[in-house]
Structure 1
Amino acid sequence: MDFVESDEHRDLRAAVGAVAAPFGGAYYVEHAREGRECTELWHALGDAGFIGVNIPEEHGGGGGGLVELAIVCEEIAARGAPILLLLVTAAISAEILVEYGTDEQREQWLPGLASGRQKVVFAITEPDAGSNTRRLATTARREGAEWVVNGEKYYISGVDGADALLLVARTGRDDAGTARLSLFLVPTDAPGLTTTRLPVDVMLPEAQFTLHFDGVRLPAEALVGTEGQGFRQVFHGLNPERITGAALGVGIARYALGRAARYANERRVWDRPIGAHQGVAHPLAHAKIETELAALMARKAAWLHDNGLPAGEASNIAKYAAAEAALAALDAAVQAHGGNGVSQEFGLLPYWGLARLLRIAPVNREMILNYVAQHSLGLPRSY
């Protein structure tokens, strides 16, 4: 095992940081409070080749893997600008299209995804299914040479700025009655598709939407991968989503701890910096330890995925650990700032909302504990 980061990866971190730093925390917080996407930063990252770092070179990408994409996610978050949409477009949609898309689909979508000038968001969640993907009610049925989609999706991110959805729909049932799922590319302007903004109190640049499909007609070539194999195929995107979500959490923790450490060194009470007191220093040190542990697991999970090895356990553990680390870091940072921790001037609370969301999504901590109990410890299934 080699725990020394390569020169290439160190250079990538520095280059991503150089692009993200001029935007920084003030830029992100302003956009989060207004619910406005970070378009300028997104385009800057795309122009520098970082959004498509995991897309093959023949399709306009950087030719890297999930290790490199996780570095991008971590470093922009560490500079105060965690863009949640990277988890959807680059980690889910791009990874699935690279692996399962037809040549025509790759040619149509991957160059735009790599440049950041096109977005394909992911539509799987439904109000009555929750984490039980097998209960998805949205259907796609064949009608001649077309597919006809009916149903509803819930909490779908970034639809307003997207060109297409990568939709998970039920296309039948097997002999045991279990849903057969398939993946489809659906233009966001397709007739019969209605989008409704979903109000949330978390401050995020990315808006959430409810989608209604009322007889949406798709051509045969909209199918991604093999009909009925969507459940297996989708995890080629869900593990990367969890890994990049973990990287985002690690970056948020690094940003919060950096802010807190500077404040604790500069703020003086009773003629000494408040960081000299263990009541301030120890929570920050504890959060730093949790952050480093989460970062190690996130890198392991990304490496496993890139090498074609089972990454489910590591992806889940990384996502769990990083969400907890981000929340611990932000809590310690807010406490270290005292009353200033909730001041708009210092801008810490918008990150707490995102970190708290990462404990729930893309998979909640309880389902991760279920996974580890069942698959890692061999305990009986509890749900």
Structure 2
Amino acid sequence: MIGARSTSKCLTVGKLYCSTVQAAQCRRFSASVPRRTNTLMETSGFSDTQLQVRDAIGKICSNFPDDYWAEHDESGKYPHELHTALAKDGWIGIALPEELGGAGLGISEATMMLHTISESGAGMAGAQSIHANVYATQPVAKFATPSQRQQMLPNLINGTYRTCFGVTEPNTGLETLKLRTQAVRDGDNYKISGQKIWISSAQVATKMVLLARTTPLEEVKKPSEGLSLFFIDFDKSKPGLDLKKIKKMGGRAVDANEVFFDNYVVPADTLIGNEGQGFKIVLHGMNAERCLLAGEALGLGYAALDRASKYAKERIVFGRPIGMNQGIQHPLAEAYMHLEAAKLATYHAARLYDQSTTDESITQTAVGVACNSAKYLAAEAAFTACERSLLSMGGMGYAQEYHVERYLRECFVPRIAPVSREMIMNYVGEKVLGLPRSY
């Protein structure tokens, strides 16, 4: 079985592309692996490493058919088996340093991984089961001290730890700079008090990447100051920590939660980077998340179109397959083209994100615009694909056994989170078009 670690050996450390000799080896290696992910998506133009990732993840996901996800969606049972399978081969650390047990690959490859998981039929639930472990650890890997990285990341990569990401609060929503959860220094510890909401995987997580206020909002000179980032033990048995599960529309195999802190004690050495600089640090992970979520949305869209196309070829009405009718064919074809366009935007953004770590000519504004644009376009394309796929299948699209209804319920997530469609348009209007700030 191909693992993330073996894939990384085909790379020069820190590079996204193979050398000439290694590239030939990669092609032979990749060609020997049977493709298990549907081929509706055009795969030309991807690097050999991305295609290796796609093949290997597709092989793992083939052990988790659609019925597995339908059952877990209905029961709300967490997909522990998928997390275990991915951790076994090192995929949890796909974009984390090799010296810590990761693969040392980029967000380009991580996006392909989550895209492939979603496209396999696992959808948002499957992807979200490891989502935070991939992107929320990016700021930790970049800004933690060497001893912190050694203490915090290897056990996350091997699956011993699982992390969740604590940013959003019920009374601030998208106003991240107005977060109220406090971390008050008390000797060698911090005491955390406040509330977070929409925290995925908190029921199973043993760690949390937490953004909290170490300086009261009223005392900071700039809104971006006074927030600090922590990587904390998330121990539900300790006093001062409580959870409430949120019932939701889709992706029910992965829990979403309200989290309550009341003088929850964490050691001071869980602080990542400098106190008060947490917002700047966490932005490093937020752009990565935009790319990952875009990939997950694309996977949903392609999965829905694949099912609808097969159904349209097999369903006979009035003596002919319904796929012959332009009323069925054209909406699906248009949805496919939107997905392909969003795919190009998504992998451009991921490549830009990766290259910005070594190319100083690539500004963070350029990365932010690309990542936000990709997330927006992929989410909209996925919604169109899922809606049209369901409608083209008529009553069977509404039936659970065909799974497209599950994809449609889940495709609302990338339209809403982690930032709304409207806020992305605000951002592009201001940063690209130079229009007055509207919020």
Same fold per TM (> 0.5)?
Answer: yes
Structure 2: which 5+ residue stretches go unaligned? 1-16, 18-43, 357-361
Any idea what SS the aligned residue of 2:110 has? helix
Native 8 Å contact 2:224 2:280 kept in 1:
no
In the alignment, the residues of structure 1 paired with residue 108 and residue 333 of structure 2 have an alpha-carbon distance, to the nearest angstrom, of 26
Residue number among 272, 275, 278 corresponding to 2:323 in the alignment: 275
In the alignment, the residues of structure 1 paired with residue 223 and residue 372 of structure 2 have an alpha-carbon distance, to the nearest angstrom, of 28
In the alignment, the residues of structure 1 paired with residue 181 and residue 209 of structure 2 have an alpha-carbon distance, to the nearest angstrom, of 13
> 1:119 aligns to what?
162
More displaced 10-residue stretch of structure 1: 105-114 or 273-282: 105-114
Any idea what SS the aligned residue of 2:93 has? coil
> 1:23 aligns to what?
64
> 1:214 aligns to what?
262
Any idea what SS the aligned residue of 2:400 has? coil
Native 8 Å contact 1:171 1:179 kept in 2:
no
Residues 37-96 of structure 1, C-alpha deviations (whole Å, 9 max, x = no match): 21111211221222211111111111101011001001111111132133211112x211
TM-score after normalising by structure 1: 0.96
Native 8 Å contact 2:162 2:204 kept in 1:
yes
> 1:65 aligns to what?
106
The residue type equivalent to 2:161 in the other structure is: Q
Native 8 Å contact 1:35 1:205 kept in 2:
yes
Q: Report the alpha carbon displacement of residue 184 of structure 1 after superposing the two structures with TM.
A: 1.1
In the alignment, the residues of structure 2 paired with residue 132 and residue 247 of structure 1 have an alpha-carbon distance, to the nearest angstrom, of 25
Native 8 Å contact 2:49 2:109 kept in 1:
no
Native 8 Å contact 1:240 1:302 kept in 2:
yes
Q: What's the % identity of the aligned pairs? A: 39
Residue number among 347, 352, 360 corresponding to 2:408 in the alignment: 352
> 1:87 aligns to what?
131
> 1:195 aligns to what?
243
Native 8 Å contact 2:79 2:129 kept in 1:
no
Residue number among 37, 42, 46 corresponding to 2:78 in the alignment: 37
In the alignment, the residues of structure 2 paired with residue 177 and residue 27 of structure 1 have an alpha-carbon distance, to the nearest angstrom, of 46
Q: Report the alpha carbon displacement of residue 34 of structure 1 after superposing the two structures with TM.
A: 1.5
> 1:340 aligns to what?
396
Native 8 Å contact 1:118 1:162 kept in 2:
yes
> 2:143 aligns to what?
100
> 1:150 aligns to what?
193
Kindly report the root-mean-square deviation, in angstroms, between the aligned alpha carbons of the 2 structures.
1.6
In the alignment, the residues of structure 2 paired with residue 33 and residue 316 of structure 1 have an alpha-carbon distance, to the nearest angstrom, of 32
Any idea what SS the aligned residue of 2:214 has? strand
The residue type equivalent to 1:84 in the other structure is: Q
Q: Report the alpha carbon displacement of residue 35 of structure 1 after superposing the two structures with TM.
A: 1.4
Native 8 Å contact 1:43 1:117 kept in 2:
no
Q: Report the alpha carbon displacement of residue 203 of structure 1 after superposing the two structures with TM.
A: 4.1
Residues 129-151 of structure 1, C-alpha deviations (whole Å, 9 max, x = no match): 01001110101111222211111
The residue type equivalent to 1:253 in the other structure is: G
Native 8 Å contact 1:13 1:75 kept in 2:
yes
Native 8 Å contact 1:129 1:136 kept in 2:
yes
Q: Report the alpha carbon displacement of residue 187 of structure 1 after superposing the two structures with TM.
A: 1.4
The residue type equivalent to 1:174 in the other structure is: V
The residue type equivalent to 1:53 in the other structure is: I
In the alignment, the residues of structure 2 paired with residue 155 and residue 162 of structure 1 have an alpha-carbon distance, to the nearest angstrom, of 14
Q: Report the alpha carbon displacement of residue 372 of structure 1 after superposing the two structures with TM.
A: 0.6
Residue number among 33, 44, 55 corresponding to 2:96 in the alignment: 55
Structure 1: which 5+ residue stretches go unaligned? none
In the alignment, the residues of structure 2 paired with residue 81 and residue 241 of structure 1 have an alpha-carbon distance, to the nearest angstrom, of 18
Q: Report the alpha carbon displacement of residue 24 of structure 1 after superposing the two structures with TM.
A: 2.6
Residues 162-202 of structure 1, C-alpha deviations (whole Å, 9 max, x = no match): 11111100111423576510011221114311111122233
In the alignment, the residues of structure 2 paired with residue 177 and residue 350 of structure 1 have an alpha-carbon distance, to the nearest angstrom, of 40
In the alignment, the residues of structure 2 paired with residue 58 and residue 347 of structure 1 have an alpha-carbon distance, to the nearest angstrom, of 41
Any idea what SS the aligned residue of 1:195 has? strand
Residue number among 217, 230, 235 corresponding to 2:283 in the alignment: 235
Any idea what SS the aligned residue of 1:184 has? strand
Native 8 Å contact 1:52 1:116 kept in 2:
no
In the alignment, the residues of structure 1 paired with residue 178 and residue 223 of structure 2 have an alpha-carbon distance, to the nearest angstrom, of 11
In the alignment, the residues of structure 2 paired with residue 285 and residue 263 of structure 1 have an alpha-carbon distance, to the nearest angstrom, of 14
Which residues of 2 match residues 224-303 of structure 1 at below 5 A? 224-303=272-351
Evaluate the alpha carbon distance shift between residue 105 and residue 29 of structure 1 in structure 2; reply closer, same or farther with a 3 A threshold.
farther
Give the count of matched residue pairs: 381
TM-score after normalising by structure 2: 0.84
Q: Report the alpha carbon displacement of residue 327 of structure 1 after superposing the two structures with TM.
A: 0.8
> 2:20 aligns to what?
none
